[in-house]
Amino acid sequence: MKALFGTDGIRGEAGRFPLDPATVSAIGFSLASHLAGSGNTPKIVIGRDTRESGESIEQSLIQGAMQAGAKCLSAGVITTPGVSFLTRKLEASAGVVISASHNPYQDNGIKIFAPSGQKMDDSVERRIEADISSKNERAGASPSSGLVLPINITSPEEGLAPALRELEEKLHQDYLSFLTDEIGKDLNLTGLTIVIDCANGASSALAPILFSQLGANVIAINATPDGRNINRDCGSLHIDSLREKVVQERADLGVAFDGDADRSLFVDGDGNFVDGDATLWALATHLQAHGRLKDSVVVATVMSNIGLEIALRSARIQLVRTDVGDKYVLDELLRRGASLGGEQSGHIILPDLSLAGDGMITTLCLLRALRESHKTLAEMTSGFKRYPQVLLNVRVREKVPFTDLASVRTAITEVEELLSQQGRLLLRYSGTEPLARVMIEGEDQGQIEDYARRITGAIEREIGV
């Protein structure tokens, strides 16, 4: 059976394997069974975003988890980092988020958090996959037909105390209080006008309240979810409407969250886009100036622009790169004891505050930097120059290590010498297709296009289709 869990949990079309009701129940049963291995009654905190499929998937998961003896607390519609926080605060055995992040409403997903508030260890995910595969084989079922649990399950409302539903508001308030009283402590946003794009997602009922409570004049857009409009022409993947609103309202800045609000992207007062790389630059230089950037290190992924690396180098800050995925960024942050990391997509992690990427925490930290430095967002991000980039794909008949291909190896050496310290070459195979991917960043668009063609030509001659 194909692996269920990717770098960000399970994701797929709602209602189809592995997000059909029977399989979701089996996932809940498996998770709770493994958590119960310590002999204690597992306690699982569950939240979801605003997709129309979210509640039914949550109920299926609760059914399976309760069958295995778990106690489930539903936080209702809440952000992914909100569940991470509650898992840690309530000392739960695990937290589960029903969300497909920035995907369209037809999709959904399952993310699992450990008691620490970070993503659950891969070993637990592998055990759940093994359980699902085993049940599939015993039932003689194909993945598309779902799985059948061994005994009947009562409806969730019969098994859950009515008071659990009433806890939703309290759990939301606990999270908001954490953001305002701890992360936003002494942060006064009076006089600041902020446009907030909630992506019709999980931040819709939380973000406007948070920033208003801190004194900002908040203009919320895309904050009326209907189950199907999450991420639709809005949020972090669609910045244009936010840009227009910021300029129209003469706001100081704008922030766009994705569907589950674990990422945030920004627009400055002039309508210029500020991505995750620019956000890392602004936060890193501010923390460095105040002696709060541990070991002068920032952790990012291989997808961060070379411009970030060059800008940080000029500020005597080292950029450490990881594979793509916020879990890899967090692993490296914890290994090094570093204080700031993230992705170009807007996942920013400040492990001293949270072990999950949290778009609202990122926004609060950026606003604090603006207040403390008495600068605008445009001024804070000056000094960072995004370099041109070219990406070419070559269809290949086999995936031979590039170092084993003489002419490719020669082309790589030549291009890296030409780029020197003012550019970057990333060469890799696709994980899902027979493609070699050549990505080059540098100061001149025409030059890097020529460099990329040199390498793709060598690959085509050696192993091209």
Mean pLDDT check: name the lowest of 85-89, 143-147, 413-417.
Answer: 143-147
Q: What is the mean pLDDT of residues 434-440?
A: 94
What tokens were used for 111? Answer: 């993310």
Q: Does 52 have pLDDT greater than 90?
A: yes
Task: Provide the pLDDT for residue 252.
Answer: 98
Tell me what pLDDT residue 266 has. Answer: 98
Q: What is the structure's pLDDT at 159?
A: 45
Q: Specify the pLDDT at position 40.
A: 83
What is the pLDDT at residue 148? 33
Per-residue pLDDT band at 51 (split at 50, 70, 90): very high
CATH 3.30.70.100, applies to 275-358+371-385: no
Using 50, 70 and 90 to split pLDDT, how confident is the model at 278? very high
Query: Under CATH, what is the fold of the domain 184-273?
Result: Alpha-D-Glucose-1,6-Bisphosphate; Chain A, domain 3 (3.40.120)
Residue 151 has pLDDT above 80, yes or no: no
154 pLDDT band, cuts 50/70/90, is: very low
pLDDT in tens, 329-381: 999 999 999 999 999 999 999 999 999 999 999 999 999 999 999 999 999 99
CATH 3.30.310.50 placement within the chain: 389-463
- What kind and span of H or E run contains 301? strand 297-301
The CATH code of domain 10-168 reads 3.40.120.10
What's the confidence (pLDDT) of residue 149? 35
Strand order in the sheet with 318-322: 318-322, 297-301, 341-342, 348-349
Q: What are phi and psi of 97, to 5 degrees?
A: -115, 130
Q: Which residue has the higher pLDDT, 207 or 303?
A: 207
Q: How crowded is the C-beta side of 416, counted as CA atoms within 13 Å? A: 9
Separation CA 127–CA 269 (nearest Å): 49
DSSP letter for 178, please: I
Instruction: Name the pTM for this structure.
Output: 0.89
Which CATH number applies to 389-463? 3.30.310.50
DSSP state of 237: G
Under 8 Å CB-to-CB from 393, ≥6 apart: which residues?
Answer: 430, 435, 436, 437, 438
pLDDT tens figures, 161-218: 456 667 899 999 999 999 999 999 999 999 999 999 999 999 999 999 999 999 999 9
Q: Where in the chain is the domain with CATH 3.40.120.10?
A: 10-168, 184-273, 275-358+371-385
Please count the CA atoms within 13 angstroms of the CA of 376 that sit on its side-chain side: 14
Can you list the positions of beta strands (E) in 188-248? Answer: 193-197, 217-221
In this prediction, residue 140 carries a pLDDT of 55
Instruction: Measure CA 9 to chain center.
Output: 11
Question: Alpha carbon of 231 to those of 81, 205, 228, 254, 260: distances in Å?
Answer: 18, 15, 9, 17, 10
Taking only the tens place, the pLDDT of each residue in 311-340 is: 999 999 999 999 988 999 999 999 999 999
Whole-Å CA distances, 115 to 72, 94, 158: 14, 5, 27
Q: What is the pLDDT of residue 7?
A: 79
The predicted model gives 269-275 an average pLDDT of 97
- Whether the per-residue pLDDT at 465 is higher than 60: the answer is yes
Evaluate if residue 138 carries a pLDDT over 80.
no
pLDDT, mean of residues 24-53 = 93
- Residue 441's φ and ψ, nearest 5 degrees, are -120, 145
Angle at 6 between CA 227 and CA 400, to 5 degrees: 135
- Which of 293, 232, 242, 290 minimizes the C-alpha distance to 102? 232
Q: What are the structure tokens assigned to 168, written together?
A: 């939703």
What percent of the chain shows pLDDT beyond 90? 86
E strand or H helix that includes residue 435: strand 435-441
pLDDT greater than 50 at residue 155: no
Average pLDDT over the chain reads 92
| The pLDDT of residue 38 | 64
pLDDT score at 431 = 74
Predicted pLDDT of residue 2: 67
Which pLDDT score, from 0 to 100, does residue 163 have? 62
Position 139 pLDDT exceeds 70: no
Mean predicted confidence (pLDDT) in 423-436: 89
Closest CA to 407 of 365, 449, 325, 462: 462
Is 407 known to be catalytic?
A: no
Rounded to an integer, what distance in angstroms lies between the CA atom of residue 65 and that of residue 24? 10
Choosing from 30, 93, 101, 264, the catalytic residue is 101
Pick from 31-35, 154-158, 392-396: least confident: 154-158
Helices (H), 97-177: 122-139, 156-159, 162-177
Residue 127, CA distances (Å) to 130, 171, 307 in order: 5, 30, 41
